[in-house]
Amino acid sequence: MSSLPDLVIRGGSVVLPTGQRPADIAVTNGIISAIGSEVRDGAEVIDASDLIVLPGVVDAHVHFNEPGRADWEGWEAGTRGAAAGGVTTVLEMPLNAHPPTTTPAAFDQKLAVASQKALVDFGLWGGLVPNNLDNLQILHQRGVVGFKAFMSHSGIDDFPRVPDGVLAVGLKAAARLGAIVGVHAESQELLDRYVAQPDSSRLSWCRARPPAAEVEAIRRLLVGMRGAGKGVRAHVVHVSCAEGLAEVDAARNKGVSITAETCPHYLAFTEEDFERIGPPLKCAPPIREAATRDALWHEVLAGRVDLIASDHSPCPAADKQKGEDDIRQAWGGVAGIQATLPLLITEGVHERGLSFERLAHLTATSPAQLFGLYPRKGAIAVGADADFALVDPGQRWTLAPEQLQTRSGVSAYLGRAFTGRVVRTIVRGNTVFVDGEVIGRPGLGQFVQPHSHISTIMDMSNGD
């Protein structure tokens, strides 16, 4: 007689790849072992009656700043926020750590710290900067999910932007590896026209980084992709406007392997909110006017956004406060990893008719597929990791300071009312958040890497 499952989640409405339906889920050794209506009890049974069971969020865009800047956020605080937000896997960006993840040694340092401190599973982005093209292959072999490049200044001295020519070479090198390049697409040349403006008002930040800067950069990225040859892939991060998505969509319809994400803060806030909230909402690209936000929602609902990621990027409170009187002095970045699911349920499911199936695709399945983690991550299916976000879809609540996990205590979402709340987060069968409390332990999180890496490396060793 076979042993009992370690865990059974019973009575929930489960969002499966085939659609949403009532089902019970059995978990054995951290893996989903059965899904159906006749799953027997396990060693632990969770009653999910009246709850939606979603695949755990795969957040493809977070900044935790460690090693080197652990007082900014750090892996423990960042993944505590992930756990509280139903996020079970994070893909962390290379630029804010010191040193940035542009060399094998820097990758090894970050992996060591993350392995000790992360409460949820994690992957690591590598960086693409002008002086590290020789390191791309070994970073790929280490297991990075892709290479991040900036077409505008990053704000980090040791993570410079790449000129178009270097980007083109990097795209070609990444294509040979079978790797994807994630691009911050704002044209520095266009932004430079606004730098000398003396205006320190909040809305001046929005005017200084118009949608046209995104559109121009995406067009130039596409030029670079055309010259990079077979296998080139690019992903445009944090697109804030429908015009940028239109460029991506037009290219994709012509067979170009390009994808795009947007972020919850572009779907949640408007320029009026930015004028009121100020520095906690400063980011690049900036928050747009209401019409642009609504157009962005239209693109999400029409299926022209590939995924939604938080771009969680906190800093010390003092670096936000220095921008109260002069917005140019504030660090740019929004602390939002806890708000992704609640915001999308509130504004998407309840207000605009977004389905839970589509929500799961945007936040879990699509990022897992794009970055080579599927089917281990991103879907509720037998054989997949037992990663879940259990959600009470009708619960009304307001994000209070004592609930916020980010180290700085600063977030533009504080005081925002939501309908839909994460009540439990499970990583490989382990509950890391339940009933408002983070209970996961640092070091539980495991490093994940694209499953395509091994085959790509073998192909290269055979002479490509």
- Give the per-residue pLDDT at 1: 41
Q: What is the DSSP letter of 312?
A: B
The Cα–Cα gap between 7 and 295 comes to: 43
Percent of the chain with pLDDT over 70: 96
- Give the per-residue pLDDT at 198: 64
The Cα–Cα gap between 240 and 237 comes to: 9
More confident residue, 419 or 227: 419
SS (H, E, C) 374-435: CCCCCCCCCCCECCEEEEEEEEEEECCHHHCCCCCCCCCCCCCEEEEEEEEEEECCEEEEEC
Strands across the sheet containing 57-62? 57-62, 87-92, 121-124
* Model confidence at 460: pLDDT above 70: no
- Give the per-residue pLDDT at 414: 98
Give the mean model confidence (pLDDT) for residues 151-171: 96
* Model confidence at 196: pLDDT above 70: no
Smallest CA-to-CA distance from 365 within 85, 141, 53, 58 is with 58
Domain 7-53+385-438 belongs to what topology? Urease, subunit C; domain 1 (2.30.40)
The Cα–Cα gap between 344 and 52 comes to: 14
What pLDDT, in 10s, does the model give residues 212-240? 999 999 999 999 999 898 899 999 999 99
Of the pLDDT bands very low, low, confident and very high (cuts 50, 70, 90), residue 14 is: very high
Report yes or no: 122 and 102 within 8 Å, Cβ to Cβ: no
The DSSP bridge partners found for residue 438 are 433
- Give the per-residue pLDDT at 38: 85
pLDDT mean across residues, the chain: 95
Domain boundaries, the chain: 7-53+385-438, 56-379
Give the mean model confidence (pLDDT) for residues 43-50: 97
- Give the per-residue pLDDT at 452: 64
CA atoms within 13 Å, Cβ hemisphere of 105: 3
Encoded tokens for 393: 């879809």
Residues of 265-285 as b/e, b for ≥16 C-beta within 10 angstroms? Answer: bbbbbbbebbeebbbbbbbbb
Q: Does pTM top 0.85 for this prediction? A: yes
Q: Break the chain down into helix, strand, coil percent, rounded to 5.
A: 35, 20, 40
- Give the per-residue pLDDT at 455: 39
- Give the per-residue pLDDT at 461: 34
* Model confidence at 330: pLDDT above 60: yes
- Give the per-residue pLDDT at 70: 78
* Model confidence at 453: pLDDT above 60: no
Give the mean model confidence (pLDDT) for residues 388-413: 98
Of the pLDDT bands very low, low, confident and very high (cuts 50, 70, 90), residue 199 is: confident
What pLDDT, in 10s, does the model give residues 314-328? 999 999 999 999 999
* Model confidence at 172: pLDDT above 70: yes
Residue 259's Cα: distance from chain center in Å?
A: 14
- Give the per-residue pLDDT at 194: 75
Query: What amino acid occupies position 239?
Result: V
Q: Do strands 7-16 and 19-28 pair parallel, antiparallel, or not at all (unpaired)?
A: antiparallel
Give the mean model confidence (pLDDT) for residues 194-206: 80
Percent of the chain with pLDDT over 90: 92
Report yes or no: 460 and 173 within 8 Å, Cβ to Cβ: no
Q: What is the DSSP letter of 281?
A: G
Domain covering 56-379 in this structure, CATH number: 3.20.20.140
Residues whose CB falls within 8 Å of the CB of residue 168, separated by 6 or more in sequence, listed in order = 224, 227, 228
Give the mean model confidence (pLDDT) for residues 149-163: 96
